[in-house]
């Protein structure tokens, strides 16, 4: 009986230690994320407007970015698009880290009719990304209240580092659960055209739809 009690006490202490360690790590991560967010908000203050031109073989999609509400997400998107951020090349046998424009040549790999189109997976099947995730940045100031909203996909309760989607219709049930970081301001007809491409049962488009390049436009405050 004594040995069982000792084992139970040791197990309880070990479990409490693991819980405390996890809580400390979570607080540390949150603190680090908040510090990064403040730093990026200061960085973005000099811009009056930030826009992205998503060039595809179906046409161009112009997007206004929302750095004030999702600074970490917007910064990551810009750095990947312009080839300034290192990521894991999942298509190479060595899984090496490389730095180049991440989105160039990637497929729009998912079309969910009357819902979303999704892109940003190097393998083109929705299973991969740049090798990291991002903190969620939901904002009460942004809503999926119409078509054309950009948001990061989710992975393990966080934002995926590279995959994002564009809504085809209002989807307010997604509010507060995803990081909205932009909105289509021109080329919604292109988005809707892509959304009508026939798909396989797994929502993969039957035609090849590619991002050829993403260009970032910056307008400085005067």
List the CATH number of the domain containing 167. 2.40.100.10
More confident residue, 109 or 5: 109
Nearest Cα residue to 106 out of 174, 162, 34, 188 = 162
pLDDT band at 31 (very low <50, low <70, confident <90, very high): confident
DSSP string, 160-173: EEEEEEEESS--GG
**What's the pLDDT tens digit per position in 1-10?**
566 565 555 5
Query: Into how many domains does the chain fold?
Result: 1
**What's the pLDDT tens digit per position in 112-158?**
999 999 999 999 999 999 999 999 999 999 999 999 999 999 999 99
This prediction's pTM: 0.85
Would residue 72 count as lying in a domain? yes
Would residue 13 count as lying in a domain? no
CA count, 13 A, side-chain hemisphere, 175 = 12
Residue 24 has pLDDT above 60, yes or no: no
Would residue 165 count as lying in a domain? yes
> Domain range for residue 84?
34-220
User: Are 115 and 171 spatial neighbours (Cβ–Cβ below 8 Å)?
Assistant: yes
In angstroms, the CA 49 to CA 72 distance is 16
- Dig out the tokens for 220 from the structure: 């400085």
Would residue 97 count as lying in a domain? yes
Would residue 17 count as lying in a domain? no
pLDDT band at 221 (very low <50, low <70, confident <90, very high): confident
Would residue 8 count as lying in a domain? no
Would residue 16 count as lying in a domain? no
Per-residue DSSP letter, 139: -
Give me the chain's average pLDDT, please: 91
Instruction: Please list the residues that pair with 164 across neighbouring strands.
Output: 119, 152
> In terms of C-beta density within 10 A (0-12 exposed, 13-18 middle, 19 or more buried), how is residue 155 classed?
middle
């Amino acid at each position: 009986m004594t040995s069982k009690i000792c084992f139970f006490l040791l197990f309880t202490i070990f479990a409490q230690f693991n819980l405390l360690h996890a809580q400390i790590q979570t607080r540390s991560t949150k603190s680090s994320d908040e510090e990064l967010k403040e730093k990026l908000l200061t960085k973005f203050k000099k811009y009056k407007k930030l826009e992205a031109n998503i060039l595809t073989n179906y046409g161009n999609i112009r997007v206004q970015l929302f750095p004030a509400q999702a600074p970490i997400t917007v910064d990551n998107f810009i750095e990947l698009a312009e080839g300034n951020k290192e990521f894991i090349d999942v298509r190479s046998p060595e899984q090496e880290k490389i730095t180049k424009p991440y989105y160039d040549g990637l497929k729009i790999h998912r079309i969910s009719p009357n819902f979303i189109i999704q892109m940003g997976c190097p393998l083109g099947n929705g299973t991969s990304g740049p090798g990291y995730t991002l903190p969620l940045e939901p904002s009460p100031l942004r809503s999926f209240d119409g078509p054309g909203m950009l948001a990061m996909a989710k992975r393990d309760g966080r934002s995926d580092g590279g995959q994002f989607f564009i809504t085809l219709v209002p989807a307010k049930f997604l509010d507060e659960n995803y990081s909205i970081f932009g909105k289509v301001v021109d080329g919604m007809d292109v988005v809707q055209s892509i959304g009508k491409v026939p798909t396989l049962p797994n929502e993969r488009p039957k035609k090849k739809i590619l991002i050829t390049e993403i260009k970032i436009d910056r307008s400085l405050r005067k």
